């Protein structure tokens, strides 16, 4: 094999090896910064929970438990599928028990999809009518009441009756208008 082809093969092999080394180093650096960012978020969230506890106690809440887990289950294709939820705080004030979820950042908004679903899950699993969302960044407590399912069904039936009445009124008015043309 000519020397220039041998040199080209070694150059290509070295280039490929350096490319692999660069990709490996890049992934290690990326993982390092991701772990660092996650650790920072975790510390911020933990600090928010500590701040929330003090804030709640100063305002008359009794913290009954923290990081309290509650088992529950769904029935999937006829079989129980168990899961566990964990709320930040179980509190009581004026004889009313509630769950407090502490959030920081964008998810501290009660209209955030994931937070909203978590609040509904807590209300259902813990059997409470109130869930509090504490925004640790702004030190705001949102009292969220979850309506009973029967109340929701009642309002749906009421809306259905109004729609049926409107349709009936439209039909009657249409018939009257038609009869007045003759």
At 152, is the pLDDT very low, low, confident or very high (cuts 50, 70, 90)?
low
Classify residue 97: in a domain, yes or no. yes
Q: What is the pTM of this model?
A: 0.60
Classify residue 3: in a domain, yes or no. yes
Classify residue 96: in a domain, yes or no. yes
Classify residue 38: in a domain, yes or no. yes
Classify residue 44: in a domain, yes or no. yes
Write phi, then psi, for 144 (nearest 5 degrees).
-115, 120
pLDDT at 151 over 60: no
Summarised one tens digit per residue, pLDDT across range 85-122 is 999 999 999 988 999 999 888 888 888 898 889 989 99
Summarised one tens digit per residue, pLDDT across range 132-145 is 999 988 989 999 88
Number of domains in the chain: 1
Classify residue 182: in a domain, yes or no. no
Range of the domain at 88: 1-175
Classify residue 180: in a domain, yes or no. no
Structure token digits, residue 146: 């979850």
CA 45 to each of CA 1, 49, 91, 157, 174: distance values in angstroms, whole numbers, following the listed order: 64, 6, 19, 42, 62
pLDDT at 176 over 70: yes
- pLDDT at site 131: 92
What mean pLDDT value characterizes the chain? 82
Classify residue 37: in a domain, yes or no. yes
Sheet strands (E) in the chain: 62-76, 79-93, 96-103, 130-135, 140-145
């Amino acid at each position: 094999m000519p020397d220039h082809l041998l040199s080209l093969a070694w150059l290509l092999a070295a280039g490929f090896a350096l490319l692999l080394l660069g990709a490996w180093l890049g992934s290690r650096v990326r993982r390092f910064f991701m772990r660092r960012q996650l650790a920072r978020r975790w510390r911020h969230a933990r600090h928010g929970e500590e701040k929330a506890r003090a804030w709640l106690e100063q305002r008359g809440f009794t913290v009954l438990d923290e990081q309290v887990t509650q088992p529950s289950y769904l029935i999937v294709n006829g079989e129980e599928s168990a899961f566990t939820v964990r709320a930040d705080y179980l509190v009581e004030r004026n004889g009313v028990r509630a769950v407090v979820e502490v959030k920081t950042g964008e998810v501290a908004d009660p209209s955030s999809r994931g937070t909203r679903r978590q609040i509904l899950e807590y209300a259902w699993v813990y059997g409470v009518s109130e869930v509090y969302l504490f925004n640790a960044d702004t030190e705001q407590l949102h009292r969220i009441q979850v309506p009973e399912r029967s109340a929701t069904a009642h309002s749906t039936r009421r809306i259905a009756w109004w729609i049926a009445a409107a349709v009936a009124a439209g039909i009657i008015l249409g018939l009257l208008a038609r009869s007045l043309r003759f």
